[in-house]
């Protein structure tokens, strides 16, 4: 089985690369933005014709949420138009597509965990382009799985956990938003889930939600990091309004994961257990 993975140097791509060594029966082809530039939409079919994968794992995305407000065209190319091309190629070549999406397709106005069929109403450019990418996959008729996730972190790349470690080491006091609710996702756990789905023989197309178990705020997440690492830095909780950003954030993005657990028999670790594992690795 030939598996193409885009975004090889990102958080999820790096974890897939590590875990892929445990699947010698598969031929993994990892590509980064230089080898498979998703903003070069017109060349997508040619590149896929050259590789001819059986499965595409699209772990690449334009994820600079605030910058996307000014770079709408680039974000749309990466998160929407290139994804549409991948889906059409898969539909035309009897290949499968596993695409990673985001909680940002929702508006954050819910107060209960979001199921896969909850109404989509993104509130920023990043969420809008990811929403359009999902819709393009569905319209294509491709044999596809879409996994929405949230608050991704790992030992690789830039993320909240690594930022907190740096700030807690440098400062005596920091402020973290305490009114945005969700659950983080350790990219290693998501990578394990993806590889399990692909190699289980239980491929069932559709949309699924995946994040670690639990319900916390960013402030709670920071407190957990401090407790596990033993930093003495004071963490103050602040409102979203007190920390304005160019792009609006959903205030509630807790994902309902019942469907992915029931379909594939997953046991999903708690956010605290996975955070401890990641911090031990770091």
Distance CA 79, CA 70 (A): 15
CA max distance for the chain: 57
Distance CA 14, CA 91 (A): 27
Burial class of residue 256 in the structure, from the number of CB atoms within 10 Å of its CB (0-12 exposed, 13-18 middle, 19+ buried):
middle
Question: Which of the residues 23, 62, 104, 126 is marked catalytic?
Answer: 126
Distance CA 82, CA 78 (A): 6
Binning the chain into helix, strand and coil, the percentages to the nearest 5 are 45, 20, 40
| 3-state secondary structure (DSSP) of residue 96 | strand
Q: Please answer whether residues 157 and 215 qualify as being in contact, where contact means their C-beta atoms are separated by less than 8 angstroms.
A: no
Please name the residue ranges forming H helices in the chain.
11-20, 44-51, 72-76, 82-92, 125-140, 160-170, 187-199, 218-229, 258-264, 271-281
Taking phi first (over 0 means left), then psi (-120 to 50 degrees means alpha), and beta for anything else, what does residue 113 get? beta
Q: Please answer whether residues 149 and 260 qualify as being in contact, where contact means their C-beta atoms are separated by less than 8 angstroms.
A: no
Phi and psi angles of residue 206, each rounded to the nearest 5 degrees, phi first: 135, -170
Distance CA 145, CA 137 (A): 9
Answer yes or no: 156 catalytic.
no
Distance CA 266, CA 171 (A): 39
Which residues are annotated as catalytic?
126
């Amino acid at each position: 089985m030939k598996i193409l993975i885009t975004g090889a140097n990102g958080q999820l791509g790096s974890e897939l690369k590590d875990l892929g060594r445990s699947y010698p029966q598969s031929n993994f082809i990892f590509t980064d933005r230089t080898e498979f530039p998703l903003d070069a939409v017109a060349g997508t079919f040619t590149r896929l014709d050259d590789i001819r994968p059986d499965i595409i794992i699209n772990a690449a995305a334009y994820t600079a949420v605030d910058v996307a407000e000014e770079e709408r065209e680039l974000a749309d190319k990466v998160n929407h138009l290139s994804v549409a091309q991948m889906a059409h190629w898969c539909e035309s070549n009897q290949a499968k597509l596993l695409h990673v999406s985001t909680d940002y397709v929702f508006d954050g106005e819910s107060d209960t965990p979001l199921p896969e069929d909850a109404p989509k109403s993104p509130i920023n450019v990043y969420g809008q382009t990811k929403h359009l990418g999902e819709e393009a996959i569905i319209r294509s008729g491709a044999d596809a799985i879409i996994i929405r996730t949230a608050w991704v972190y790992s030992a690789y790349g830039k993320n909240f956990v690594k930022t907190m470690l740096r700030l807690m080491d440098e400062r005596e006091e920091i402020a973290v938003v305490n009114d945005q609710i969700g659950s983080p996702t350790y990219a290693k756990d998501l990578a394990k889930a993806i590889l399990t789905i692909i190699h289980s023989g239980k491929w069932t197309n559709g949309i699924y939600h995946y994040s670690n178990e639990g319900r916390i705020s960013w402030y709670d997440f920071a407190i957990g990091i401090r407790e596990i690492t033993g930093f003495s830095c004071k963490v103050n909780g602040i409102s979203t309004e007190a920390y304005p950003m160019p792009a609006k954030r959903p205030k509630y993005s807790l994902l309902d994961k019942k469907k992915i657990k029931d379909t594939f028999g997953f046991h999903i670790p708690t956010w605290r257990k996975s955070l401890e594992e990641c911090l031990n690795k770091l």
